[in-house]
Amino acid sequence: MVRARPRSVRVTTPGRSAPEAPERAFFGRRKGKRLREGQEQRLAALLPRLRVTPPADGGRLDPAQLFPEPKRGHWLEIGFGGGEHLAAQAARHPEIGFIGAEPFVNGVVKLLRAIDAERLANIRIRDEDVTALLAALPDACLDRVYLLYPDPWPKRRQRKRRFVSDESLREIARVLKDGGLFRFASDIDDYAGWTLARAARCPDLRWTAERAADWTAPYPDWSGTRYEAKAVAAGRRPTYLEFARAERI
């Protein structure tokens, strides 16, 4: 969800290769505006207790072990931006354990403020690129994955930087439980088509749309994001795609 451009940080997925992007990179800023003193204090006090770090030895990371109380399910939001959607879902579903991945420090601080203000005990944060986290998650451990308004990288030479690829969709399908949902939203038609084309090549994901209006209507429990509000204000129509994980044989 971070739409800033600049530098890249190279990240690899151990033991895996991808025909489209054998080596992933995070492209974007780690920090924007200077943090205020209160934000710095919250970052130092709260983030270490909520931070998710994949095992250094390459082992698996069980989402259930991240929460002191058992959860009915576990959801992941990739690139949560300012965290408004993630915080709203966590408040609405205290029985679910949420993991949010966002490398942009200013976005993490905004989510921490919501966690603190609303006393949300069911959110954990990965404040680095999500690739290593996905690689560390065991098979069939998540009930839902969100990717909302990711950076579109619209120029042709930039498209290899898009998060959605054959490899990333395989990883998402791997960590989803049978019947689990992957939800993708964007205001960029080309990125929606890009995602549909790659999802069609993934045998483990099934597009759930049954009629034309399904991909233009928000999800039933949709709370919106600030990027969506900007898109609508600018006259762009969002697209909402949903894919279900196929049953394992």
Return the domain boundaries, the chain. Answer: 8-245
Average pLDDT over residues 56-72: 95
Is the model's pLDDT at 5 over the cut of 50?
no
d(CA 84, CA 81): 8
At 114, the amino acid letter reads A
**Looking at this protein, which amino acid is placed at residue 36?**
R
Q: Rounded distance, CA 161 to CA 156, Å? A: 10
The CA-atom distances, in angstroms, between 239 and each of 16, 149, 157, 236 are 30, 10, 23, 10
Half-sphere CA count of 153, side-chain side, radius 13 A: 16
Does 189 qualify as catalytic in the annotation? no
Residue with tokens 């054959």, as numbered in its chain: 166
Round the average pLDDT of the chain to a whole number and report it.
87
Q: Where are the beta strands (DSSP E) in the chain?
A: 8-11, 24-27, 73-78, 96-101, 123-126, 142-148, 176-186, 205-207, 239-245
Residue 187 near residue 238 (C-beta atoms within 8 A):
yes
- Residue in 127, 151, 187, 204 annotated catalytic: 151
pLDDT of residue 40: 85
pLDDT 10s digits, 222-246:
988 988 999 999 999 999 999 999 9
What mean pLDDT comes out for the span 24-48?
70
pLDDT number for residue 177: 98
Q: Architecture of 8-245 per CATH?
A: 3-Layer(aba) Sandwich (3.40)
Report pLDDT for 29.
47
Q: Identify the residue with better confidence: 147 or 56.
A: 147
Q: What is the pLDDT of residue 24?
A: 45
Average pLDDT over residues 30-40: 69
Helical axes 37-50 vs 105-118, angle rounded to 10°: 80
